[in-house]
Structure 1
Amino acid sequence: MSPVLIGLLGLAALLAVILLNVPIAAAMAAVGVLGTLFLDAQASVFSLFGTATVQALSSQELIVIPLFILMGGFAIIAGLSKEIYRLSHAWIGHFRGGLALTTVGTSAIFGAICGSSVATTATMVQVALPEMRKRGYSNALIAGSIAGGGTLGSLIPPSVIMVVYAILTQQSVLDLFRAAIIPSIMAVLLYFVAIRLVLLRNPQDGEALPRSTWGERARATGQARLTLMVAGVMLGGIYSGIFTVNEGAAIGVLMVLVTCLVRRRLTRENFIQTLIRAASNIGMIYLILIGAEIYKSFLTLSGLPAATVDWVGGLDLPPLLIVSVVILLYILLGCLFDAMAAMILTMPFVFPLVVGQLGYDPVWWGIMNVMIIEIGMITPPVGINIFVLHGMRPDLKLRQIYAGLTPFVLIDVLRIVIFLLFPGLMLALV
């Protein structure tokens, strides 16, 4: 049996095991070890685990992930999300569908603090949903603006997924953050467009609220000054080069923690709970990266990624067509697997193809990956934001959630097409 065939069988086995709900970290590690032993009976299993673990635990870039996760947890305790919501409502709430626009705008700002799509979605369920319900918004528009807006937590820097991509592909985290600025702004504006288009068709889904006075806007802005200061100091310092991404994340955690203390919101109980949740999420990410390294070693030994690149290169198709097919396959794969897992599983094949064979910029492809992951977060049946929303509010029917998310998925596809046709637009600030 040829090594390439063994690699294919290993890939099929991995997909089958994941579909059986085996945790992805364990699945990748198990398939990687068994596949490596099948190819090389003399290989040391302990060496595989040891090398992968040391690489993960000694990575300087990985330090930023625990810091971002902690910052998001403390930001929820500090009540920053409510202040951002009041701020957004004061400035754009008077438009028709203003609360839906406010939810998206709040998700964007809060995502710049917590760096997590799941945390952003869960927070908006608690902050935005009661207000939208009170104003008579339709369940579809509520679901779409919360779950769709929640995906901005992955795209708007700082982003945990971007850091994972940077580590897996040895790219600069700061370059990825800079490349995400224009797509992030465009994402927010296009989501606004999606909401307005929905209301043009169904005006009854969301009413216009009275315009806030300049005094009310000033008060809302003043109340949110600490939140704006955290985001401004952290991101401003990172982008200006005053401090590194790791230093910026550490400063962000310190500022949010001080905000909790100043406001007397931090208790022994919620402090311990935040640490426990953060440790659980951090441990999961580290285990996934360790499993991915073992799995990647097996695939490299089999020669399957190189064979895939050679095969696609021999098709003599335009690079744009090949990348378009890859993106479509990613979107379809995101309907079956957790989107981040899909990125990690396919990285050994796709990255050498898109960057090495076709010559696309690795930073551009990283942001494209994140935008594709966003679609996976809100597409059935395995859309994590859908699970979070429906799990927290079972009264929202799945058909209502899917209907509300359809315009956001379509607008996401449009955004991907724009950056696929004009990749230089994304890299203008890098």
Structure 2
Amino acid sequence: MMPNEIYGLLGIVGLAVLLILRVPVALAIGMVGFVGIAALSGVNTAFYMASSEAFATVTQYELVVIPLFVLMGNIASASGLSRDLYDAAFAWIGRLRGGLASATVIGCAGFSALSGSSIASAVTMGRVALPQMKRFSYSDALATGSVAAGGTLGILIPPSTGFIIYATLTEQSIGRLFMAGILPGILLTALFVVAIYIVTSIRPADGPAGEPFTLRESIRAGLRASLIGGIIVITIGGIYLGFFTPAEAAGIGAILTLFVSFFRGRLSLAQWKDVLMQTVRTTSMVFLILVGANIFAPFLALSDLPHFISQGLTALDVGPYGVLFLILAAYIILGTFLEGLSLLVITLPIVFPAIIAAGFDPIWFGVIAVIVLEMGLISPPVGLNVFVVASIADKVPLSTVFRGVIPFWIAMAVCTVLLILFPSIALYIPQTMMGN
């Protein structure tokens, strides 16, 4: 009879093989979890766990935030409200050197507060910003790099799908994780702008100044974006003040976004059908991943592999921050070829016990983990966000996009170090919030 830990290791190997064979992540982790539970506790237990966990996951009230926030982001994207955010930033800072790239990053940050998805943010803002930067002769590296990096804010700035999954798998508060992402999101946005300033100071031709706007034009652009900005303030501010739960905030945000889009006549019936279908597809994907994760996690618990790994890391005698460094380094490497949400689902049952044993705050680690996962998504050789941006950039080589993200990768590393040195950046707002 093999030790239980061996079953866990075999499960990890089997999962890796399935992923290499391009089996969808949700199906792969569900299959491995089912077979593993059957091997350790019997087929009847495996069937019971699979059915009960699937039902418990899809009927969990807190997870209603996923379809509602996804719907809100899809409405904003289809109706052009996301462009208002970019146009406002363009009008105010586009006249500066590197201003269009900075406007792209700020626009991505604003859209991130609606979508919760890094890929959606990159694609939506890229289609708006890349033609503009090409018109003003921006270097391909800076233009695509700013879009790829700016898109990563989608999983950090609330409402973040990454935080929702992290909260579900670790039994943390979704509201507190949302609040924990605000200041780091602002900090990372500012660091991206600083990176653009440094790049354009060294190579001014990479980011020439855009056309100046009159004060009236700038104010008009700001007013157009204020409606969507107001929705963001209402939803996130309402959670902070305890006026409503994250689920209620998601519903209010989706309704307000819908009203604004209809009021401004920007959403046709055909577009509305596309919005609903995209929302259903995205929601189904996330829920299937969560169902698979909730089958995979009990298997790992039965195998005692997380405890075994936690003891192994402790035995290395590298201290809590040494354990943290090893985990984050693994995340960066794995993130180059695994999508961030999938990586969270696969690794959290293994690394979370080690993080708790090391004495780290789980809310703080959630923010750190999300940033480091996004570093992986713009890291060579297989950074997924880079491939997404390259697919929408006109005739820009993949190597150019990778070169363009280097300054932003460094900015993300600086942000991570600052959060490690000063945990209050992430924890201050959650510690002062009312309600949830």
TM-score, normalised with respect to structure 2: 0.95
Q: Give the structure 2 partner of residue 177 of structure 1.
A: 178
Task: Measure how far apart 1:3 and its partner are.
Answer: 1.0
CA distance in 2, matches of 1:19, 1:420: 33
Separation in 2, partners of 1:42, 1:24? 22
The answer on whether the counterparts of 1:78 and 1:259 sit within 8 Å (CA) in structure 2 is no
Residue in structure 1 matched with residue 135 of structure 2 by the alignment: 134
1:152 Cα deviation after fit: 0.8
Q: Give secondary structure in 2 for the equivalent of 1:224.
A: helix
> Which residue number in structure 1 is paired with residue 419 of structure 2?
419
**In structure 2, distance between residues paired with 1:109 and 1:140:** 23
What do you get for the CA RMSD once the two structures are aligned?
Answer: 1.4
| Equivalence for 2:409 | 409
1:314 deviation in Å? 2.6
Q: How far 1:316 sits from its partner (Å)?
A: 2.6
Supply the distance in 1 between the matched residues of 2:390 and 2:316 (Cα, whole angstroms): 44
Work out the CA distance in 2 between the residues paired with 1:85 and 1:37.
Answer: 52
What is the percentage of aligned positions where both structures have the same residue? 39
Query: In structure 1, what is the Cα distance between the partners aligned to 2:244 and 2:35?
Result: 43
Cα distance in 2, alignment partners of residues 428 and 263 from structure 1: 38
Contact 1:139 1:401 in 2 (8 A): yes
Q: Give CA deviations for 1:308-348 in whole Å, capped at 9, x if unaligned.
A: 11222233321111111111111011113222212211111
Once the two structures are superposed, the pairs formed by residues 226-305 of structure 1 within 5 Å of their partners are 226-305=227-306
Structure 1 contact 93–102 (Cα < 8 Å) conserved: yes
**Structure 2 unaligned spans of 5+:** 431-436
Gaps of 5+ in 1: none
Could you give the per-residue CA deviations for residues 196-246 of structure 1, whole angstroms, max 9, x where no partner exists? Answer: 111122111111235433222211112223212211222222222111111
Q: Aligned residue for 2:377?
A: 377
Partner Cα separation in structure 2 for residue 212 and residue 196 of structure 1: 20
Aligned to 1:334: 335
CA distance in 2, matches of 1:315, 1:46: 38
- d(CA) in 1 for partners of 2:143 and 2:368? 27
C-alpha distance in 2 between matches for 1:139 and 1:160: 30
The answer on 1:308 being equivalent to 2:281 is no
Code of the residue aligned with 1:106 in structure 2: it is G
- Work out whether residues 144 and 393 of structure 2, in 8 Å CA contact, stay in contact via their aligned partners in 1: no
* Structure 1 residue 118: Cα displacement: 1.3
- Secondary structure (helix, strand or coil) at the match of 2:155 reads helix
CA contact (8 A) 2:14 2:32 kept: yes
- More off after superposition, 312-321 vs 276-285: 312-321
| More displaced stretch, 401-410 vs 391-400 | 391-400
Q: Structure 1 residue 371: deviation in Å?
A: 0.5
Aligned position for 2:20:
19
Cα shift at 1:394: 5.2
Distance in 1 (alpha carbons) for counterparts of 2:397 and 2:326: 33
1:30-429 residue pairs with structure 2 within 5 A? Answer: 30-355=31-356, 357-393=357-393, 395-429=395-429
Residue 270 of structure 1 deviates from its aligned partner by 1.2
Distance 2:394 2:213 in 1: 33
Moved over 6 A (4+): none
Amino acid at match of 1:24: V
Q: SS at the partner of 1:324?
A: helix
Residues 338 and 382, structure 1, Cα contact 8 Å, conserved in 2: no
Contact 2:121 2:151 in 1 (8 A): yes
Task: Decide whether the 8 Å contact of 2:165 with 2:341 is kept in 1.
Answer: no
Task: Answer whether contact 1:78 1:263 (CA < 8 A) is retained.
Answer: no
TM-score with structure 1 setting the length: 0.96
Read off the aligned partner of 2:403 and give its amino acid letter. A
**What is the CA deviation profile of residues 290-313 of structure 1, one whole-angstrom value per residue up to 9, with x for unaligned ones?**
111111111111111111112222
Encode CA deviations 1:345-388: one digit per residue, 9 max, x unaligned: 11111111001x10100100111111112112212344332222
Structure 2: distance between partners of 1:114 and 1:425: 23
1:348 and 1:388 map into 2 onto residues whose CA distance is 29
1:78 deviation in Å? Answer: 2.2
Q: Distance in 2 between matches of 1:234 and 1:93?
A: 29
Shift of 1:42: 4.9
Q: Conserved in 2, the CA contact under 8 Å of 1:334 and 1:373? A: yes
How far residue 424 of structure 1 moved from its aligned partner, in angstroms, is 2.8
* Counterpart contact for 1:36–1:43, Cα < 8 Å: no
